[in-house]
């Protein structure tokens, strides 16, 4: 039996090496955002995963949670990413969770089932057409922002869990929406009071103590479930 010897070369992959497009994305995003290096690195890392086609099957490309007080740049990071990718800061599907504090308001996102009054009058926000409308020939990626997620109703939390778990959403008319080419970003002011107190401090070494919102622990549990 003849055994042929094969010439093989060992190739070592650098996990920190990014493609030229991912490097360009990170550089342009960094030039627009000051003081949020971790958020920029995280978003550029997810973009690299998307470009490589390595995102988990049947899941969104990635999920990010930005915590901080109002004015700290949480939403701006997402808008800047849209500017870099699509040339438009408004190329984001933005869901203001303050508008969805009651269960029935979820119909604005997914529509009402056939037969319900007004089910044809308002087009749901989260259709496949809306999700894909900013896609370009080179970038089949969507950015979906759930702003102030702590204000969302339980119905919106359940909807979000389904998106993050299966990258699929079923609309009121039973159409399926695919979120597998989507970055999902959540923002929250949760803990902003405590962070502010830690920064401002007080007399001595102990940080100032303030009254804790009784709803904070409940929202904590919902966030960590996602």
Per-residue pLDDT tens over the stretch 106-115: 989 998 776 5
Assess if residue 33 is contained within a domain: no
CB–CB of 161/60 below 8 Å? no
Q: How many domains does the chain have?
A: 1
- Residue 183 sits in which domain range? 57-225
Assess if residue 136 is contained within a domain: yes
Check: pTM over 0.85? Answer yes or no: no
Q: Which residue has the tokens 């949020």?
A: 36
CATH of the domain at 79: 3.40.50.300
Q: Choose between 40 and 191: higher pLDDT.
A: 40
Assess if residue 96 is contained within a domain: yes
pLDDT digits 0-9 by tens, 76-88: 999 999 999 999 9
Q: How far apart are CA 156 and CA 142, in angstroms?
A: 19
Quote the mean pLDDT of the chain. Answer: 82
Assess if residue 115 is contained within a domain: yes
Assess if residue 42 is contained within a domain: no
Q: Choose between 4 and 145: higher pLDDT.
A: 145
Assess if residue 81 is contained within a domain: yes
For the four alpha carbons of 69, 33, 143 and 184, in that order, the dihedral sign comes to: negative
Assess if residue 37 is contained within a domain: no
Cα–chain center distance at 54: 17
**SS percent in the chain: helix, strand, coil, step 5:** 40, 15, 45
Assess if residue 77 is contained within a domain: yes
Q: Strand pairing partners for 144? A: 93, 184
């Amino acid at each position: 039996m003849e055994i042929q010897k094969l010439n093989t070369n060992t190739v070592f992959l650098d996990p920190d090496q990014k493609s030229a497009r991912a490097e360009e994305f990170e550089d342009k995003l960094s030039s627009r955002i000051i003081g949020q290096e971790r958020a920029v690195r995280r978003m550029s890392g997810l973009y690299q995963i998307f470009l490589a086609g390595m995102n988990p099957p049947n899941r969104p490309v990635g999920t990010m949670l930005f915590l901080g007080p109002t004015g700290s740049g949480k939403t701006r990071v997402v808008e800047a990413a849209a500017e870099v990718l699509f040339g438009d800061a408004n190329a984001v599907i933005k869901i203001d969770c303050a508008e969805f504090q009651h269960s029935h308001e979820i119909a604005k996102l997914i529509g009402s089932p056939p037969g319900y009054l007004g089910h044809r009058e308002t087009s749901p926000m989260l259709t496949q057409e809306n999700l894909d409308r900013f896609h370009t020939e080179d970038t089949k990626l969507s950015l979906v922002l759930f702003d102030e997620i702590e204000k969302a109703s339980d119905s919106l939390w359940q909807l979000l869990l389904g998106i993050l778990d299966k990258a699929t959403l079923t609309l009121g008319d039973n159409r399926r929406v695919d979120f597998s080419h989507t970055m999902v970003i959540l923002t929250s002011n949760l803990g902003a009071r405590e962070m502010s107190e830690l920064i401002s401090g007080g007399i001595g070494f102990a940080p100032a103590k303030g009254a804790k919102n009784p709803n904070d622990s409940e929202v904590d549990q919902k966030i960590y479930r996602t």
